[in-house]
Amino acid sequence: MARSVPDHEVLKPEKFGRFYLRELLNSGGMADIWLVSDARGKTYALRRLKKNLRFNLTARRRFKRGNEILSRLADCKNIVGYVEHGSDYLLMDYVEAENLKQLVARQDPVLTENVAQILIDMATGLHDVHEGGYMHLDFKPENVLVSRNGAVRLIDFDMAQPLPEKPVKFSKNPGTPGYMAPEQLKREPIDARADIFAFGVSAYEVLTNKKPFPGESPGEILAAQMHPDGPIPPLELNPAVPPALEKVVLRCLERNPDRRYPFTGVMLRELQNALYV
């Protein structure tokens, strides 16, 4: 969403094309996120490819693909709003929000007061990605924005890939190890159920403020995933977790993808039933 900028706030900031760079909101490995305004004083979030990657063809292709995928998911409520993109930037709706990782770290009241709706909206956003024909492949709290009223938006589609008809093995291993499914860490073929596993890790973390499979390296994380006892049940760490919700989360975290939910639509329906929504 855009908001007007009072005249007294505009202090000749640096320009990027037709936009004024007003504030650096976040910086990642591939891009910086800026709060920008246009000539009319409306603000947006602008994701700009880092200068040192402008001649990196692999990074540019990934950045471009992520932007194009977002443009095809533009009408989904729980995905960040797309405005336009170019070869080295992505313009999005500006939402006053923090990522879920930050909220979990400090147990923010926004999280504790809206946890049921946040979990459902996360699942809805992931379902919309799959319905749009893609796997996210980097689903994690850091890529979930939550506004002060609890509204959820998924971001960052640089790792996304077309949804395959059957599991496919990639030459590279996209994602973040702490949220990868066992088949990803073992470099085996994957499909949308890898995203369902990542949702389970994220939901577990939201509910318990702990990782279900701790580890400092991919090998340690995989070893924890393969432990015969499985993760500590969320109820043992947070007695407020409804048993039906725990059942949903633990099914998402099954080490065998055939024991997880086959589709996000099934997961979402059971999540809604568990939370009486």
Model-level pTM? 0.91
Run means of pLDDT, 10 residues per run, the chain, 277 residues: 48 83 90 94 95 90 94 92 94 94 94 95 98 97 94 95 94 88 96 98 97 96 94 96 97 97 97 89
CA distance 80 to 92: 7
- Type of residue at 35: L
CA distance 176 to 3: 34
Question: Measured at the alpha carbon of residue 103, what is the angle toward residues 99 and 107, in degrees to the nearest 5?
Answer: 170
What residue ranges do the domains of the chain occupy? 7-92, 97-274
DSSP-assigned letters across all residues of the chain: ---B--GGG---PPEETTEEEEEEEEE-SSEEEEEEE-TTSBEEEEEEE-GGGTT-HHHHHHHHHHHHHHHHTTT-TTBPPEEEE-SSEEEE----EEEHHHHHHTT-HHHHHHHHHHHHHHHHHHHHHHHTTEE-S--SGGGEEEETT--EEE---TT-EEPPSS-B--SS--S-GGG--HHHHTT--B-THHHHHHHHHHHHHHHHSS-SS--SSHHHHHHHHT-TT-SPPHHHH-TTS-HHHHHHHHHHT-SSGGGS-SSHHHHHHHHHHHTT-
Residue 36 pairs with which residues in a beta bridge? 21, 44
Nearest to 94 by CA among 83, 109, 105, 78: 83
Q: So what's the pLDDT on residue 75?
A: 84
Active-site residues, by number, are 138
* 146 within 8 A of 161, measured Cβ to Cβ: no
The CATH number for 97-274, chosen from 1.10.3470.10, 3.30.565.10, 1.10.645.10, 1.10.510.10, is: 1.10.510.10
CA distance 97 to 125: 16
**CATH class of residue range 7-92:** alpha beta
Residue 236 CB partners (closer than 8 Å, separation 6+)? none
Q: So what's the pLDDT on residue 8?
A: 42
CA distance 275 to 40: 43
